[in-house]
Amino acid sequence: MLYEAYGIPVVCENGHGLTGRLEQEPERAAKYCPECGAPTLSTCPACNTRIRGHHDSITLGRYAPPRYCHACGSPYPWTASAIAALREMTEEAAGLSDADRAKLAASIDDLIRDTPKTELAAQRFKQLASKLAKGTWESMRAVIVSVATEAAKSKLGLG
């Protein structure tokens, strides 16, 4: 039998990690999130593989759910929702030309995944953010902070 090094998580569809070790915190089991009311899950909706909870070597700290499934590569619902929100904000952003909107939209995936283009995407976002209305940038910033890679957050001055 294969040793499972990850705990059983409970995560809501909006990405609130209720626990990364359900087996040690059974009192955290819930069908719905106490923060937002969304249904909870422990497996990938695309392939039904269990989401990775806390690793055995991690004993402290709040559980931060992964952005993508380790088995099929699909974005989890909270990641897909964040990507969709950023795309909508980009489409509705005042003060940008159509070309700037296209550049911003093309950079979103590389802010959320570590790729060779992550640094370029962060540079573009930072440059174009100066053209955005303050409220638009603050809304985008909140979403980016929740799902961007550490490299992207650092480059954007958010880390």
Question: Is residue 54 predicted with pLDDT exceeding 70?
Answer: yes
> Using an 8 Å Cβ cutoff, are 108 and 83 in contact?
yes
Place of tokens 């995560």: 11
C-alpha torsion 104→107→109→115, nearest 10:
-170
Pair of tokens at residue 77 = 């619902």
Closest CA to 7 of 59, 75, 48: 59
Q: State pLDDT tens for residues 56-99.
A: 766 567 889 999 999 999 999 999 999 999 999 999 988 889 99
pLDDT above 60 (res 1): no
What is the share, in percent, of the chain residues with pLDDT greater than 70? Answer: 95
Query: Rounded distance, CA 102 to CA 73, Å?
Result: 25
Q: pLDDT category, 123, cuts 50, 70, 90?
A: very high
Residue 55's pLDDT is 84
φ, ψ for residue 85 (rounded to 5)? -65, -45
Residue 6, Cβ density class (10 Å: 0-12 exposed, 13-18 middle, ≥19 buried): middle
**Structure pTM?**
0.87
* pLDDT value of residue 58: 61
